[in-house]
Amino acid sequence: MLDWSKIDTVLLDMDGTLLDLHYDNHFWLEYLPECYAKHHAVSAEEAAQRLQTEFARVAGTLNWYCLDYWQTTLALPIRELKEHTIERIRYRPDAPKFLDDLRAAGKQVALITNAHPDALALKNRFTDLAERCALQFSTHEFGYCKEFQELWQGLQATYHFDPARTLFVDDGEHILDSARDFGIAHTLGIRRPDSQQPDKTFSRHLSVTRFDELPPLS
């Protein structure tokens, strides 16, 4: 398990790590196809197929996370639609305590998310995330998502963290791979990013279902 004495900085993903990924999964996989079908006058099956094709086209790139891209590509008011399901925006159960414990232990804490800045702002409006984690970065600021080494290089130039004494937490194993390739020594996967889905499996990184499975910070 983690040795907190070897960690000064904690970089945290947002959706699926601090916040329940159910909001995003429901929006993109259920609500948005309904809206697309209605707006473009196609069947639910056709809408789902078209969206899956578009998603696959840009998976792993910054456009995958870009609200402007999807607003143009799908001809839908994505920002407006995302506010229709805000009741699903919530923390993962033990995330607030974990953030408070990190701060109390004197760790440097920053949020690093692939979410578009407007999506990040929406989450901040409906949670107290900005109060619990004031230092926040959207990868759109750097022009690369976390899957790319250029992101980590740009982040380090801005934030000046020591990779050898940094923990990065994310719900995507391929993203943890990217962080490790950059030289981040400590990585942690979240097995239950979506409260409504079964646990994921991580084969190359330490993983937990809940933060309270980790050794205490004090």
Q: Which residue has the tokens 């079964």?
A: 198
End-to-end CA distance of the chain: 15
125 Cβ partners below 8 Å, 6+ apart? none
Work out the burial of residue 188: count CB atoms within 10 Å of its CB; fewer than 13 is exposed, 13-18 middle, 19 or more buried. Answer: buried
Domain-by-domain residue ranges, the chain? 4-20+90-213, 23-87
Q: What is the DSSP letter of 28?
A: I
The pLDDT of residue 59: 93
Q: 32 is written with which tokens?
A: 């948005």
Q: What is the DSSP letter of 2?
A: -
Q: Which of 139, 164, 95, 22 is nearest to 31 (CA)?
A: 22
Alpha carbon distance 101, 156 (integer Å): 24
Bridge-partner residues for 11, per DSSP? 110, 168
Q: Are 9 and 108 in contact (CB under 8 A)?
A: yes
**DSSP-based three-state secondary structure for 69:** helix
Alpha carbon distance 87, 108 (integer Å): 30
Query: Is CATH 3.30.230.70 what the domain over 4-20+90-213 is classified as, yes or no?
Result: no
Q: Which residue has the tokens 């639609």?
A: 81
The pLDDT of residue 1: 83
Tens-binned pLDDT, residue by residue, of the chain (218 aa): 899 999 999 999 999 999 999 999 999 999 999 999 999 999 999 999 999 999 999 999 999 999 999 999 999 999 999 999 999 999 999 999 999 999 999 999 999 999 999 999 999 999 999 999 999 999 999 999 999 999 999 999 999 999 999 999 999 999 999 999 999 999 999 999 999 999 999 999 999 999 999 999 97
Q: Which residue has the tokens 């989450």?
A: 123
The pLDDT of residue 194: 98
**DSSP-based three-state secondary structure for 118:** helix
